Chain A
């Protein structure tokens, strides 16, 4: 059961019955979710559950077959991505997608493409460097030469350069060591706390995501099967078994079979 909505003004992003497909294949089959201002919300799910599709539908890369996406009370369904960015939504895509032949600094400036306030942009670059000092060291290097973790830092910083109110993070932990993953998540939380940036985080690393997020949705086969505060989700049997890998080992000390999911 979702917590009572404190006030509709709090809701910065609302999806209602969104269905998106790739050709004939429906990737999400009716997703409704809400993100409140200042929250970190996570969407958990296995491969192919439709997590990335949700983010792509929000940022306008995919147009949904039905349903609506509302941002700050306005209907942004199927608007052009460039318009949506200007409204304050930044997308950190899966697999970083930095511009490999541009320098780190130029990548950051690309992130600020929509902005005219040069002084503020300069300040924000400094801020990115303060979050991720390594980027300052590599400022003039080609982004393609950065390590995976550094590229992820750059991708997050680049998204930040648009001064978004809502950041969509698509699997920031992908391919990163546990240590780097932790570091990056720490910064994500810092950005959220210090700048008040709302985050919608898609993750396979359920443990990490449940620790940093306030509210979580579980997506299976394109449908939400469960949603609750992360503190509550962490204690649910099905989450423990299927997302956190904690299971009673039983009498034999090992177990191969899976319990049936009930999502309650």
Chain B
């Protein structure tokens, strides 16, 4: 970053410069790809989900039958090509079945976050002109029923899990089982239905709607085409999967409405022929991880942080010998990781020590966290601390960073297999051009993965995708001479203090989040004399900290108010402050007194604090820090 660049910092960087290539795919759409894989893999397992605690496997053939039935069932209800069906459910097998079925009959599939409240569901259904709504269970159904009268376009609601609804009778609502039965009857009369429907839509037309979580304003529906999706799939084998075999195991737990899990938890595994295992619920991710031992693990930084802090906490309970052995092993691991990062072979002696460290400690740690089979770890959707990446590299888990957004269909950059640079989001993928805009330093991207636009919002589309096809990402950053891109912040998040100093809050925030005691933080200071921060503590780790030191507390709020916890967090802030210039020092902080959940407005569905909302909701606390 400090070395002066020799190359034009605003040049166009093409992914093809790095030897990455676009594959020629034998299909043009997800339904085509799916049919292809069903033919190839037949009775092999495609997905698993637990039923009463036991993993139940579904073969490609089984899923194909189910998808055909759901698709035909939709058609029997009058679902036409180009119409929209929405799925309101947690990540589960039915989600994928319905997505494939809707696309197979030429429909557009839209996902709604299961944590959304009824008014949000209403907006998303109305804006997308949803005609069929899939809901997970009675809880999600109740959201629809609350607003049913205001959604005249919704013709039918299909419920996955009918438990508790035996006595419920509403002509608008049927079970997924009933829909499949309708489909079976329909298929007898129209056996060629799916074939006919597969030709009903062009690959350039919208196939999938993904609403951006909208930290400001109302959500925008990104229109994604089969071309967009396929262009991302065509870039995989030379980038993310370079040198890796097909197949393998995956674990899916992030919301499928989010483009990242939609790609990596659904479309990419179909392309790669990998088995997807759905977690039981968001709380069992770590247990399921140990059971499945996936070969590729994709998670947002928050989850990687949690894995790290579990080990850190476990270690604090270990005895002295274990602690020092671990310390030694991780140090050896870090040295080897540094060699890999610098692109050189570790020396013979170091290699030997690393072997010993793996055998004594590192492999056990990997086993303990369920990552002993991980060939690629992938992080994305939010910035991650470079220190954290180094720790995973030290363990021997190749944690790579990818950057993409809904508007790029999840594609974008990736760090190469043997050329990771912690702190960088990597190089543009094959077929993708990227540049740093002059003046604003905004990262801009052009490629076949850039979405068609935003549904019903041509003016927003025009603002985001310019006439030359460049997508204005809203991320600010720079590119180094080797073509590595770095994000410093979101454009609209940059803080200009009253002293006129430009500060990128996410740098500070990411460093804070590396603390096991801090889950998330929002740095504030725009037009203010100094910086302050709002901190969400990690409940589990801070509780343990308090308990170990006999600090009395009763509930979450009282925990945040104890002097020791306040000192602890201040200590973490001081640690971060040391790394930054004097004008960038955080002077005061405020701990959120409620444990937030995904249902709360302040958090995005991926559990990040929403800056604007936090600033508004805690305005009083913020003001108090400037008094």
Point out residues on A near B: beta carbons under 8 Å: 1-2, 16-17, 19, 29-30, 32-33, 66-68, 217, 223-227, 250-252, 254-257, 260, 262-264
Contact = CB atoms under 8 A, between A and B. Distances in A.
B553 interface: yes
Contacts of B546: 17, 30
B168 A223 contact: no
A224 B597 CA distance: 19
Interface stretch (B139-147, B224-232, B616-624): B139-147
A66 B550 contact: yes
Nearest to B599: A260
A2 B547 contact: no
Nearest to B140: A257
Contact of B543 (A223, A251, A260): A223
Contacts of A256: 138, 163-164
A254 to B, nearest CB: 8
Contacts of A68: 550
13 contacts: A1-B557, A2-B558, A17-B546, A29-B547, A67-B550, A224-B555, A251-B142, A251-B148, A255-B138, A255-B142, A256-B164, A257-B138, A260-B599
Contacts of A251: 142, 145-146, 148
Q: Choose among A225, A227, A264 the residue with the greatest number of B CB atoms under 10 Å from its CB.
A: A264
B469 interface: no
Given A251-B145, A263-B595, A257 B139 contact: yes
B368 interface: no
A66 B609 CA distance: 36
Nearest to A17: B550
B594 interface: yes
B554 interface: yes
B137 A257 contact: yes
B470 interface: no
B551 interface: yes
A227 B556 CA distance: 10
A87 to B, nearest CB: 22
A224 B559 CA distance: 11
Interface in B560-580: 561
Interface residues of B, number: 29
A19 B142 contact: no
Contacts of A29: 547
A151 B557 CA distance: 41
B119 interface: no
A16 B550 contact: yes
B597 A225 contact: no
A264 B602 CA distance: 15
Interface of B: 137-139, 141-142, 145-146, 148, 163-164, 167-168, 543, 546-547, 550-558, 561, 594-595, 597, 599
B554 A33 contact: yes
Nearest to B557: A1
A217 B139 contact: no
B309 to A, nearest CB: 18
B560 to A, nearest CB: 10
B556 A17 contact: no
B164 A257 contact: yes
B555 A225 contact: yes
Contact of A252 (B145, B552, B557): B145
Nearest to B562: A32
B604 to A, nearest CB: 17
Nearest to B139: A257
Contacts of A1: 557-558, 561
B554 A252 contact: no
Contacts of A19: 547
A260 B597 contact: yes
A263 B555 contact: yes
Contacts of B594: 262, 264
A218 to B, nearest CB: 8
Contacts of A32: 552-554
Nearest to A218: B555
A252 B162 CA distance: 14
A223 B146 CA distance: 36
Contacts of A67: 550
Contacts of B168: 252
Contacts of A262: 594-595, 597
B599 to A, nearest CB: 6
A252 B146 CA distance: 9
A257 B550 CA distance: 37
A217 B555 CA distance: 9
B320 to A, nearest CB: 20
A252 B142 contact: yes
Given A17-B547, A262-B597, 4 more contacts: A2-B554, A17-B551, A255-B142, A263-B555
A224 B551 contact: no
Contacts of A227: 554-555
A217 B163 CA distance: 34
Contacts of B142: 250-252, 255, 257
Nearest to A29: B547
Contacts of A264: 557, 594-595
Q: Which 10 A-B residue pairings sit nearest by Cβ, starting from the closest? A: A256-B164, A32-B552, A257-B139, A251-B145, A30-B547, A16-B552, A224-B554, A17-B550, A250-B142, A227-B554
Nearest to A16: B552
Nearest to B144: A251
Q: Choose among A19, A29, A224, A251 the residue with the greatest number of B CB atoms under 10 Å from its CB.
A: A251
Nearest to B142: A250
A67 B549 CA distance: 10
Nearest to B141: A252
Q: Choose among A2, A252, A254, A255 the residue with the greatest number of B CB atoms under 10 Å from its CB.
A: A252
A223 B552 CA distance: 12
Contact of A217 (B146, B554, B557): B554
Given A255-B138, A257-B164, A226 B555 contact: yes
Contacts of A250: 142, 145-146
Contacts of B597: 260, 262
Q: Choose among B546, B551, B554, B597 the residue with the greatest number of A CB atoms under 10 Å from its CB.
A: B554
Given A67-B550, A262-B597, A264-B594, A30 B164 contact: no
A54 to B, nearest CB: 13
B172 to A, nearest CB: 12
A260 B599 CA distance: 9
Q: Choose among B551, B555, B597 the residue with the greatest number of A CB atoms under 10 Å from its CB.
A: B555
A27 to B, nearest CB: 14
Q: Choose among B145, B167, B557, B597 the residue with the greatest number of A CB atoms under 10 Å from its CB.
A: B557
A40 B137 CA distance: 42
Contacts of B139: 257
A41 B546 CA distance: 24
Contacts of B595: 262-264
A29 B558 CA distance: 16
Contacts of B561: 1
Contacts of A2: 554, 558
Q: Choose among B142, B145, B543, B597 the residue with the greatest number of A CB atoms under 10 Å from its CB.
A: B142
Contacts of B555: 224-227, 263
Nearest to B170: A252
A250 B145 CA distance: 9
Nearest to A226: B555
A245 to B, nearest CB: 17
A9 B10 CA distance: 71
A227 B559 CA distance: 12
Nearest to B163: A256
B177 to A, nearest CB: 18
A260 B558 CA distance: 21
Nearest to A227: B554
Contacts of B550: 16-17, 66-68
Contacts of B557: 1, 264
Nearest to A19: B547
A66 B546 CA distance: 13
A260 B561 CA distance: 24
A73 B73 CA distance: 73
B143 to A, nearest CB: 9
Contacts of A66: 550
